[in-house]
């Protein structure tokens, strides 16, 4: 039994490092992509600090919305890809990730 606990802890550590790397890589790629897209669309650099009062409000809001959305989507996609690779490599889902049971025909246990 102790060996199984050690394997689960090792698996959890590997997944933690792997998922962190995937999320950071996804965020970095997305940040560079959204910055280049902003420069191509507006002809100028994105605001360094959208909270700066010298930055137009519309520009700050648009930058925050665009960069936040793109970066979070990229992080999610990279993390999903990492989970898929992990599952293929180990034969099971990463620790903490399980099937969602999103079958609408089943009742929600919280409401019953």
Is residue 19 one of the residues assigned to a domain?
Answer: yes
For residue 15, what pLDDT is reported?
Answer: 82
Is residue 76 one of the residues assigned to a domain?
Answer: yes
- Mean residue pLDDT of the chain comes to 82
For residue 36, what pLDDT is reported?
Answer: 95
Binned at pLDDT 50, 70 and 90, residue 19 comes out as confident
Burial of 25 (0-12, 13-18, 19+ CB in 10 A): middle
Is residue 100 one of the residues assigned to a domain?
Answer: no
Is residue 59 one of the residues assigned to a domain?
Answer: yes
Is residue 109 one of the residues assigned to a domain?
Answer: no
How many domains are there within the chain? 1
- The number of beta carbons lying within 10 Å of the beta carbon of residue 55 is 16
- In the predicted structure, residue 112 carries a pLDDT above the cut 70: no
Is residue 51 one of the residues assigned to a domain?
Answer: yes
- In the predicted structure, residue 109 carries a pLDDT above the cut 60: no
Cα torsion 97, 99, 107, 104 to 10°: value is 120
Is residue 110 one of the residues assigned to a domain?
Answer: no
- In the predicted structure, residue 4 carries a pLDDT above the cut 50: yes
Domain that holds residue 29: 9-90
């Amino acid at each position: 039994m102790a060996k199984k606990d050690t394997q689960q802890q090792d698996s959890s550590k590997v997944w933690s490092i792997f998922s962190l790397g995937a999320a950071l890589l996804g965020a970095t790629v997305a940040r560079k992509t959204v910055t280049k897209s902003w420069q191509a669309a507006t002809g100028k650099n994105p605001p360094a600090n959208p909270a700066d009062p010298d930055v137009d409000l519309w520009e700050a809001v648009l930058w925050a919305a665009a960069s936040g959305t793109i970066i979070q989507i990229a992080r999610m996609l990279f993390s999903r890809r990492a989970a898929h690779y992990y599952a293929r490599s180990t034969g099971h889902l990463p620790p903490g990730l399980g099937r969602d049971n999103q079958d609408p025909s089943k009742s929600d246990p919280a409401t019953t």
